[in-house]
């Protein structure tokens, strides 16, 4: 974490995002949080490209860490589908919009504003359930598919970014199960030692970022630094 000179956290109103802002500030890293619920220059809505472009345009110095700490698993009465009979096109599109398309648009507008030389990290919260090879249970169709799509987008973004700055690391990170609103309805079967407080999760993720090297770009890593096969 000590190597980070300045940071942007997108999704700073959420559990993990807010904890990341706090952890970075505690290390005296200049950090700015953006979120849909924020107003003015700090407003950014993942499903509104105009707001993404406007937020990116306010950057005055290139941040060497951009962390996209967003995700959608349930909303209102909609949640993870247990069977194919539950598939709904509107809910599928909503999950793709937030979990895959939104991050891609953030990269479109923010990656070009990162340093042109030297190490930089563009990190996006992904999920182990987005791994096709790791899918042994099925279900959770939309979330799994959107996160799998996100992992492919990360790989392509990393390849293109390497041509601009071969020391920028574009990476997906799986935080584990974190005690936030996103996981709240699904915590009953999670062992106590596998449910992380948001502040612990933030430090773990920043530790992983601290250890990343340029060849890690385009890959997906868990909270403990182990690689996850997409």
What is the tens place of the pLDDT at every residue in 185-219? 666 666 666 788 999 999 999 999 999 999 999 99
Helices and strands counted in the chain (H then E)? 6, 9
What pLDDT is stored for residue 186 in this prediction? Answer: 65
What pLDDT is stored for residue 230 in this prediction? Answer: 82
* Residue 170, strand partner residues: 122
Helix axes 141-164, 89-96, angle to 10 degrees: 30
Q: For each of the chain's 230 residues, which pLDDT tens digit applies?
A: 458 999 999 999 999 999 999 999 999 999 999 999 999 999 999 999 999 999 999 999 999 999 999 999 999 999 999 999 999 999 999 999 999 999 999 999 999 999 999 999 999 999 999 999 899 999 999 999 999 999 999 999 999 999 999 999 999 999 988 887 677 666 666 666 678 899 999 999 999 999 999 999 999 999 999 999 98
Q: What is the DSSP letter of 188?
A: T
What pLDDT is stored for residue 179 in this prediction? Answer: 80
Residue-range domain boundaries for the chain = 7-228
Which are the contacts of 138, defined by CB distance < 8 A and separation ≥ 6?
A: none
Q: How many CB atoms lie within 10 A of CB 88?
A: 12
Residues in the chain: 230
Backbone angles phi and psi of 125, in degrees to 5: -70, 120
Distance CA 201, CA 23 (A): 10
CATH number assigned to the domain covering 7-228? 3.40.50.720
């Amino acid at each position: 974490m000590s190597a980070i000179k300045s940071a942007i956290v997108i999704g700073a109103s959420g559990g993990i995002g807010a904890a990341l802002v706090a952890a970075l500030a505690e290390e005296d890293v200049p950090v700015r949080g953006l979120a849909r619920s924020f107003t003015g220059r700090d407003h950014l809505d993942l499903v509104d490209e105009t707001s993404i472009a406007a937020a990116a345009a306010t950057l005055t110095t290139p941040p060497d860490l951009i962390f996209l700490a967003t995700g959608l698993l349930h909303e209102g009465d909609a949640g993870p589908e247990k069977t194919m009979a539950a598939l709904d096109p509107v809910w599928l599109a909503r999950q793709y919009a937030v979990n895959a398309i939104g991050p891609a648009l953030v990269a479109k507008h923010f990656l070009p504003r990162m340093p042109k030389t030297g190490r930089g990290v563009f990190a996006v919260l992904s999920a182990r359930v987005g791994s096709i090879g790791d899918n042994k249970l099925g279900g959770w169709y939309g979330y799994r598919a959107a996160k799998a799509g996100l992992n492919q987008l990360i790989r392509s973004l990393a390849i293109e970014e390497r041509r601009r700055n071969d020391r920028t690391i574009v990476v997906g990170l799986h935080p584990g199960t974190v005690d936030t609103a996103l996981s709240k309805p699904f915590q009953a079967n999670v062992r106590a030692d596998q449910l992380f407080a948001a502040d612990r999760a933030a430090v773990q993720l920043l530790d992983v970022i601290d250890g990343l090297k340029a060849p890690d770009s385009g890959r997906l890593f868990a909270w403990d630094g182990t690689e996850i096969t997409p």
